[in-house]
Amino acid sequence: MLVFKGKTDARNWVLRRRCRGERVGLVPTMGALHEGHLQLVRKAVANCDRCVATIFVNPKQFAPDEDFARYPRTLQQDLDLLRSAGTAAVFVPDDHTMYSANASTFVQPPRIAQPWEGQYRPHHFQGVTTVVSKIFNILPVTHAFFGHKDFQQAIVIQRMNQELDFGIEIKIVATVRERDGLALSSRNRYLSVRQRQQAAGLFAALRGAHAVFATGQRQAVALEKTLRDTLAHHDITEIDYAVAVPAETLEPVPLLPEKTITLLAVRLGTTRLIDNLRLDEPLPAL
């Protein structure tokens, strides 16, 4: 597996592959890799001729009071995992390689970035669209793979890709879950034993809403009550949002369409967790 620190070497590697007509699949990450990331790599390996990953903890998508400084950095282990999952090359830039000291250009995210995460983390998506655009420009791949766990992020990137004509095929890959349903996340490692038990409440809430939706209930308030009651049952009281919205717009409506998604963001101590579930699709097997 090749490891690139510089932009030119990384770009040239992708361009050489593209000149040979190869399909190159990108998996952008912030490191601290887990099975969810490896699932993205496996999809890239299965769908493309080569997989290239990136590891970069992007300072521009964290607010000053967020966890940028304590975000887990496990580079050697990450490289070993990527290699064993079949990654051909990894781009591991440092902050100065990605951003010049006085960089002042940002990519304005599409409108769908405004609710939910956009409301609770006001500059987050601008940081994401800026860094992902840069990565798309540095690594002109054919395909890019993002996790369903960050559903709003994946849709924001899909829209940006479409509206700014990057011409990359964006694939959204199913969330990988623990046995009790907790979605894998690099931030799960912050949880205490007690918080880890409470965290099972997120999937319990999603599954509860899924069951109610399956009975034909389409009132958003009814589904949101199920979400909140289940979270309360697991002693989760700090809720940023717990909503059921149309999967295509993410805008609140009183009466839900068939393609509906539930979105959750909660806080357990200083750790913020998000998750989601499509209500019109079969429950994932655990």
Question: Structure tokens of 90?
Answer: 């990894």
| Residue placing its CB nearer to ligand PAF in the complex, 132 or 244 | 132
Q: In one letter, which amino acid is 193?
A: V
Catalytic residue annotation? 37
Q: Residue 240 contacts by C-beta under 8 Å, 6 or more apart in sequence?
A: 120, 265, 266, 267, 272
State the CB neighbour count (10 A cutoff) for residue 84.
11
Binding mask of the shown chain, residues 126 to 165, with x at each position contacting ligand PAF by CB under 6 A: --x--xx-----------------x--x------------
27-56: contacts with ligand PAF (CB under 6 A): 28-30
**What is the rounded (10 degree) CA torsion for 45, 141, 185, 109?**
-160
Binding mask 93-132 for ligand PAF (x = CB under 6 A): -----------------------------------x--xx
The residue within the footprint of ligand PAF, chosen from 14, 33, 52, 58 (CB under 6 A), is 58
* CB nearer ligand PAF, residue 29 or residue 198: 29
Under 8 Å CB-to-CB from 79, ≥6 apart: which residues? 1, 3, 90
Beta pairing class for 24-29 and 143-147: parallel
Considering beta carbons, is residue 31 or 208 the nearer one to ligand PAF?
Answer: 31
For ligand PAF, which stretch binds (CB under 6 A), given 4-12, 25-33, 167-175, 194-202?
A: 25-33
Range in contact with ligand PAF (rule: CB under 6 A) among 22-30, 63-71, 165-173, 215-223: 22-30
Q: CA 284 to CA 286: how far, in whole Å? A: 6
Angle between helix axes 220-233 and 193-214 (nearest 10 degrees) is: 150
Residues that bind ligand PAF (CB under 6 A): 28-30, 58, 61, 128, 131-132, 150, 153
